[in-house]
Structure 1
Amino acid sequence: MIAALLPLTLSASAADTAKLHTDKVMAVPVTEKKILPVDLDQAAASQDVVLPQQPVHMTADTFFARNADGYVKSRGNVDIKQGMDEVHANYVEGNMKSGVYHTKGPVVYVNETNALTGQDVTYNSQNGSMSMDKVEGFMGPTTYIRGTDAEMYDNIGYVKHGLITTPHAVAKTPDYYITGDDIRIYPGEKFTAENTALWFKHVRLFTYGHYEGRLDNKNKTKHYIFTLLPRPTYNSDDGIGVRGYADVPLNQSGDLKFHASYALNSKNGLKPAAQIQKDTKIGSFRFGYSKEESTDNDDNIWATKWPELEYFAPRLHLGDTGIYIDSSANWGRWAEDGVKTGTHKGFRTEITHTPIPLWQRANVRFFAGYRKDWYSTDDAQRRDPYSGVILNQGINDRLWTSFWYKKHNVSGYTPYRFDTLDDPRQHGLSIGYVLTPRDTVIFSWAQDLDDDHISDRNYTWVRDLHSFIATITYKQVDKEWQVKIKAKDFDF
């Protein structure tokens, strides 16, 4: 075959070496050029390597084995191990020749990705399959499951009826969860469920049909059906409201997603957002429509952005120094009450580092950045080189303090209140004290360095609500209240 494709190829065995060096010319036969068909499946099969099956190890307080037929029975602290699979029970009987083992009562099953408990398990060491009457535990680090009639085969889990939630919500009746039929779990990859419904305690919020969630934590993906849960909010400008969001994957790899969010307030109505996001090696791109609340100030100003294109560069780490750079850019049309609608474009970059330990319970972090914005309204521009430092000092296990300083050297202006900077030059401090394992109080104070007035004097109570965290803040200077509730497992 090779000779047919390469007719000028020369070959010689060890016995022909002398003749090869003495002859000036060798006659090389040329075969007819043609391609011979090859059975690729047969060729691949001939190269397959079959690894030996890993042995099964069993230990117990009492052990009985019958060599004639392979029957075994164990009682008390029974441990079965095969590779990364472990089964722990109080009673096991089975057959060493068939590799099938049965347990009665509670059983613990552990492998590299799962930690499950069940009742009345049948385990086949020949193919790694398993069945349980009841099952509960973790499939990967972010997903808790509880159900009936469970099976596992080829490392794929099947649950006939069950519920799924996140780690902090686990309880006899979880704070929030989805129920489903025919749940299929692909450890480290994804899970699917049919006839799903989202619940908050005993209240069913809505039904969904087919649902698919990621288990690989790729791109920090969260279960979007949970993020839709309405979280209550309150502030003096917006009134009482609820908020939620979802990042719905649109392809198998998860790098294309639909981002949707909502804020429903008693004073300002519905504020939705709908955007498409694409994650690439050079960064993330997001395009769509949104109504967003100001983050540069505390005035709760809303702006409508349509269309809006945003770019977020990958974080750039400077070796092992702990220093990193974040950058972003955006372009779009902005609309705000009382301001002419116009085009905005801008970019921002910031350099900072992981906190540097100083002495016991103390660390410091410096940051610096540059931001520039262009506005078609009034042909305005704004430049903002800024810098600052944050010093944290723990006093003991309950008491901590934080001191900070920031300076924005703003030139130019913005025609919008939405991105107007509050108090560009400030310093301040925070003092926190842990009252109970569930309650923390924080006092914050800030002073404007331009005219020395006190810009903030806030009192905050933080309450642990099992799977949620509630913060209630009274802003004494502004005479305003603010209430926020965040979920531990998906609001970051």
Structure 2
Amino acid sequence: MRKQRIQWLVAACLLCLAQPAWAASESITYQDSLDSISEFYAGEIQQPSTPERSNIRVVRRGASPITAPTEKLPTRVDADKMTYSGSTGDVNAFGNVVVTQGNRTLLANRITGNTKTTEYRTADGPYRYLEDGGKTKDLTGDVMTYRTSDQHFDAGHTQGWSDPYYVKGQNLSYDGQTGSIEKGMITSKHAMAFKHTPDYRIEGEDIKIYPGDKVVIQHPSFYIKNFKLFSLKSYTKSIRGDKQGKVSAFSIMPRPIYNSDDGFGLRGNADIPMGKSGEAYFDYKWYFKSGFKPQIGYRHYLPWGTASIGYSKVSNEYNDETVWVEKIGELRLDTHTYHIGKSPFTARGETSIGYWKEGSVKGVHKDYKVEVSHDPITIWKDGTLRFFGGYQRDYYGYDKSIRSMPYWGAQFRTAVGPRVNAWVSYNQRNINYNNSPYRFDSTELPKELIYGGSFKLTRLDDISVSVKQNMMSGDVDSIYYTYHRDLHSFDMYLTYKDSHKNNNNQWKIKFIGKDF
């Protein structure tokens, strides 16, 4: 039968996953890019961001794209056969029904509805919902009802991809503000096994999602494969600080970590909403060698950044040795990274005050820092260059010293063919007081050049070499040889560090969870 085509101004059956109306009115956009320049390369895996800095965003002010309300977007429906009554508003489309609206597509055997009640329902078999061609959403289910007037929907058994998770459950609903899944399961794309049990998952009797606020799961159970780690009566995960839609619901799960200095251990973290703009956070690491290393406190989201106060034990490397410092009652303010007008240049700042303790060295520490940078400059197709500069000033109560540190640098990265990548970076810190009394934040190389490259051996394996050179003396400080293996849900880095300054050569191995 020849397909009939009709255009109507109703959003027939386009699920909950339509963008909320409030998301279109804000004239601030956020870039998915680095917040500030960091030194990182294969073989020198960065320490995870502190809870404060991980929530800083890159802000570009100005007119953001305005998305028309869902019910006003024209919708096209293709079907083998279609009937419509102008007097009653009844609509029937059946036989290979394809509903498209913007970047959304709904496939079903039959759709029935009414243009006056604005309610539509799939029938006669399963439906499939796609967004961005399936890149951000690809869901299938047995039946679904949707009202275009208030974006309310109800669905039966549903499963599939909803970025950043794979979901499965029954009795899904969305009232335009809150989403709900009964007897649900969520897992990540890296943990998903299409023929076997996911590497890890969360199952819950009821999962409620409050966009921009929190996720609440009743009676959740946390699994690694088919082994249940633990269960809770209720689990609330804050998503207030989510800057890229990638907040991990799995972060509370204890997961194994290892490095050669601290040995085997476990880590996890949780964020609990408090009030309208704040949350308590708890991030822990427990190592067999170095013991329990927590970060605990409260952070408050401001229009221009984040304020926090807390206690933490954090580490850094000094002379090839991991050193730990206690930060007691540290209060800090971090601004977002703001574009200067509509230019590609950016600026950000931070300040903190707290009590630091590293062995016998202890006292009040205060600092402030400002930094300017810009969007990466594209030199050629796969080559980018970025400059940065800033000023940092530290006040140490331990010995009443002050460290003034203007700094600047540049970073270049490029792809050399499909298997080879290369990088060069230069960092210079101009220090009037050469070193902090704490090894934790001492500057070993005021002027350093880092260069290297990586080669992809297979789809899952690559090797890299990176050289750190002391530009004060011209000597090579150290060379890192790294083998990286993709372990599905984790990345493994095996590094041999050839230390030229003190012949303290050493092997290090790290496992990094992709979704934590």
TM-score, L = length of structure 2? 0.73
1:103 is aligned, of 123, 143, 152, to 123
* Equivalent position amino acid for 2:413 in 1: N
Matched, 1:350 2:374: no
Matched, 1:481 2:513: no
Matched, 1:435 2:457: yes
* Equivalent position amino acid for 2:316 in 1: S
Once the two structures are superposed, residues 197-231 of structure 1 have per-residue CA deviations (whole angstroms, 9 ceiling, x without a partner) of 22222222222222344678754575464122334
Give the C-alpha shift of residue 272 in structure 1.
1.1
Give the C-alpha shift of residue 482 in structure 1.
2.5
* Equivalent position amino acid for 1:357 in 2: T
SS at match of 1:377: coil
Matched, 1:286 2:308: yes
The alpha-carbon distance between structure 1 residues 76 and 199, as it changes in their structure 2 partners (threshold 3 A), is same
Moved more, 70-79 or 420-429: 70-79
1 CA distance for matches of 2:396 and 2:73?
67
1 CA distance for matches of 2:397 and 2:361?
10
- Alignment length (residue pairs): 436
Mark the runs of 5 or more structure 1 residues left unpaired by the alignment: 1-51
1 CA distance for matches of 2:472 and 2:457?
36
2 CA distance for matches of 1:157 and 1:151?
6
Once the two structures are superposed, residues 407-431 of structure 1 have per-residue CA deviations (whole angstroms, 9 ceiling, x without a partner) of 2222223211111112222213111
What is residue 473 of structure 2 aligned with on the other side?
451
The alpha-carbon distance between structure 1 residues 422 and 228, as it changes in their structure 2 partners (threshold 3 A), is farther
What is residue 4 of structure 2 aligned with on the other side?
none
* Equivalent position amino acid for 1:290 in 2: S
2 CA distance for matches of 1:129 and 1:312?
38
Matched, 1:77 2:96: yes
Once the two structures are superposed, residues 85-140 of structure 1 have per-residue CA deviations (whole angstroms, 9 ceiling, x without a partner) of 8641135577899866452332113589984534431536587665544101345x
What is residue 319 of structure 1 aligned with on the other side?
341
Matched, 1:249 2:270: no
What is residue 80 of structure 2 aligned with on the other side?
61
1 CA distance for matches of 2:403 and 2:441?
11
2 CA distance for matches of 1:54 and 1:60?
19
Give the C-alpha shift of residue 360 in structure 1.
4.2
Matched, 1:175 2:175: no
- Within-5 A mapping of 1:322-333: 322-333=344-355
Identity %: 31
Q: Is the 8 A contact 2:237 2:271 kept in 1?
A: no
The alpha-carbon distance between structure 1 residues 368 and 83, as it changes in their structure 2 partners (threshold 3 A), is closer
2 CA distance for matches of 1:299 and 1:293?
10
* Equivalent position amino acid for 1:104 in 2: D
2 CA distance for matches of 1:91 and 1:166?
32
2 CA distance for matches of 1:196 and 1:381?
50
Compare CA radii of gyration and give the structure with the larger one: 1
- Within-5 A mapping of 1:90-239: 90-91=109-110, 101-109=121-129, 115=137, 117-123=139-145, 130-139=153-162, 141-152=163-174, 157-172=179-194, 173-185=197-209, 190-213=214-237, 218-220=242-244, 223=247, 225-239=249-263
* Equivalent position amino acid for 1:241 in 2: G
SS at match of 2:418: coil
Q: Is the 8 A contact 1:407 1:425 kept in 2?
A: yes
Mark the runs of 5 or more structure 2 residues left unpaired by the alignment: 1-70
1 CA distance for matches of 2:395 and 2:177?
54
2 CA distance for matches of 1:217 and 1:379?
36
What is residue 389 of structure 1 aligned with on the other side?
410
The alpha-carbon distance between structure 1 residues 319 and 296, as it changes in their structure 2 partners (threshold 3 A), is farther
Relative contact order: is structure 1 or structure 2 higher (C-alpha 8 Å, sep ≥ 6)? 2
Give the C-alpha shift of residue 458 in structure 1.
0.5
2 CA distance for matches of 1:221 and 1:70?
39
SS at match of 1:301: strand
SS at match of 2:220: strand
> RMSD between aligned alpha carbons?
3.6
Q: Is the 8 A contact 1:142 1:215 kept in 2?
A: no
What is residue 89 of structure 1 aligned with on the other side?
108
SS at match of 2:399: helix
2 CA distance for matches of 1:371 and 1:68?
72
SS at match of 2:164: coil
SS at match of 1:226: coil
2 CA distance for matches of 1:350 and 1:138?
39
1 CA distance for matches of 2:211 and 2:305?
28
- Within-5 A mapping of 1:328-407: 328-337=350-359, 339-407=360-428
Moved more, 452-461 or 289-298: 289-298
Once the two structures are superposed, residues 333-369 of structure 1 have per-residue CA deviations (whole angstroms, 9 ceiling, x without a partner) of 11112x3321111122222222212234322211222
* Equivalent position amino acid for 2:364 in 1: T
1 CA distance for matches of 2:241 and 2:271?
13
2 CA distance for matches of 1:385 and 1:68?
75
Q: Is the 8 A contact 2:238 2:271 kept in 1?
A: no
What is residue 301 of structure 1 aligned with on the other side?
323
Give the C-alpha shift of residue 395 in structure 1.
1.4
Give the C-alpha shift of residue 193 in structure 1.
2.5
* Equivalent position amino acid for 2:481 in 1: Y
The alpha-carbon distance between structure 1 residues 386 and 146, as it changes in their structure 2 partners (threshold 3 A), is same
Q: Is the 8 A contact 2:406 2:430 kept in 1?
A: yes
TM-score, L = length of structure 1? 0.77
